[in-house]
Chains A and B, each alone.
Chain A
Amino acid sequence: MQNLGIQILFQGNNFLRLLGGLWVSLKLAVLSMIFSICLGMLFGMVMTSTKKSVRVISRLYLESVRIMPQLVLLFLVYFGAAKHLNVNFSGGTAAVLVFTFWGTAEMGDLVRSALESIPVHQYQSGYALGLGKMGVYRYIIIPQTIRRLLPSMMNLLTRMIKTTSLVVLIGVIEVVKVGKQIIDASRYTVPDAALWVYGVIFIMYFAVCYPFSRAAALLDKKLRD
């Protein structure tokens, strides 16, 4: 009987393996995102510093992270650290380190622009009502900053999820790698496996990212009016 390509998905536990791979991708992305949010909040506040030297240094960090492809960073940390510093990171650890390094810079820039977009009168009205610095930030500035941040934060998260596919190259078995294994294993029995497997991976990424970008768009619209 002619093998139908779609069967490849239901052979053995292939589908579950793909889901497992997706889970690895998500874990890396979400973990990196959590670290990025925490560190990025701090970095964003640092970026609004009135000290010129502080601003220049943080700008340098941001720009160099942006210029450098994430793949180079991954190789640098994974292979470079092992070779020159004698530290052996697992692929996963290296990935979280690199994505956090990148995410902190991006998140910091988002926090900076959200903070700067709040009119100075908002601070002054708070102080004029007798609130202290803590109170002004807690009740007035931070709630508004978070609202402004939510949409772009969602976008950053989806970008991060997609970028995790790079970690294949440092030996992490995530969804794309699992897909490749499945395709390789059935190269002769199911010639068009690639189409089906990558198709499913595409849908999986879509199913994960779409809700986030949809939420981002909705929030953006809601906050605009």
Chain B
Amino acid sequence: MRLEEILKTEQLNKSYENGQKVLNDITFSLKKGEVVVIIGPSGCGKSTFLRCLNMLEPVDSGAICFKDRVIDRANKEVYELRQKIGMVFQSYDLFPHLTILDNILLAPFKVQKREKSEVTKEAEELLKRVGLSDKKDVYPRQLSGGQKQRVAIVRALIMHPEILLLDEITAALDPEMVREVLQVVLELAREGMTMVIVTHEMDFARAVADRVLFMDQGVVVEEGSPKEFFNSPKTERAKQFLNMFHYEAR
């Protein structure tokens, strides 16, 4: 089966106001149903790259195409694109003044103008799937970090996104909560969700990825299947990075 390309970037360049170059000529392509994991040292531009994919960040040059259509950041279609690309951040992204259910329903109501009974039902089903049916009327501050992140995933899923971008969604969690969140992501992958995942959990990366991208200083240094990458990294920098990880892990 030939997989259809859903998202791609061509020679993406980005620097912040201080002139520091964060993304350097990144050409990237994502196929439908594919799970790509991006790893790399802190500050190498992983989060910036994900934000660019979702048009949250302006780029200096280069193109971003969704299903072969070049997306113009100045255009209104950006808002439609963002509905098709869900995103979950590291933390603090539930809205603290809204209950869990209202957090989930905000965008379906206000953005997609969907019908109340239908979305509410779907929200409840999704909450049940992630094991949080009994939490729908509480506020985010009453949830543990792991529970919050599962809600954040549900909030992204209810928009029926075609792609999910996950930016270190377990980095702020206590170790015992990491698993419950990653389990949800693994299930999504199994169901064929297209995802771009930034993570520092190497075992998880190995298990979930179809393809691994290793970034360093704004450049994609190495790219390959998880097996190739983790067992026999080709570049020196990737080797160093993985070694450092083993050292930390012990």
A interface residues with partner B (beta carbon < 8 Å): 119, 121-122, 124-125, 127-132, 135, 139-140, 143-144, 147, 225
**Given A122-B93, A225-B141, is A128 in contact with B87 using a C-beta cutoff of 8 Å?**
yes
- Please pick, from B82, B85, B93, B156, the residue contacting A121 in the complex, using a CB distance under 8 A: B93
C-alpha spacing A56/B152, complex, angstroms:
39
Would you call A129 and B155 a contact (CB within 8 A)?
yes
C-alpha spacing A147/B80, complex, angstroms:
31
Would you call A131 and B93 a contact (CB within 8 A)?
no
B interface residues with partner A (beta carbon < 8 Å): 51, 54, 56, 79-80, 82-83, 85-87, 89-97, 106-107, 110-112, 141, 152, 155-156, 159
Measured CB to CB, the nearest residue on chain A to B142 is A225
* CB-defined contacts of B111 to chain A, threshold 8 Å: 129-131, 135
Given A128-B156, A129-B159, A139-B106; 6 other pairs, CB 8 A cutoff: A121-B91, A125-B89, A129-B111, A144-B96, A147-B97, A225-B141
* CB-defined contacts of B90 to chain A, threshold 8 Å: 121
Would you call A122 and B92 a contact (CB within 8 A)?
yes
Would you call B92 and A130 a contact (CB within 8 A)?
no
C-alpha spacing A122/B91, complex, angstroms:
10
Would you call B51 and A130 a contact (CB within 8 A)?
no
* CB-defined contacts of A129 to chain B, threshold 8 Å: 82-83, 106-107, 111, 155-156, 159
Q: Distance in Å from the Cβ of A122 to the closest Cβ of chain B?
A: 7
Would you call B82 and A127 a contact (CB within 8 A)?
yes
C-alpha spacing A131/B110, complex, angstroms:
8
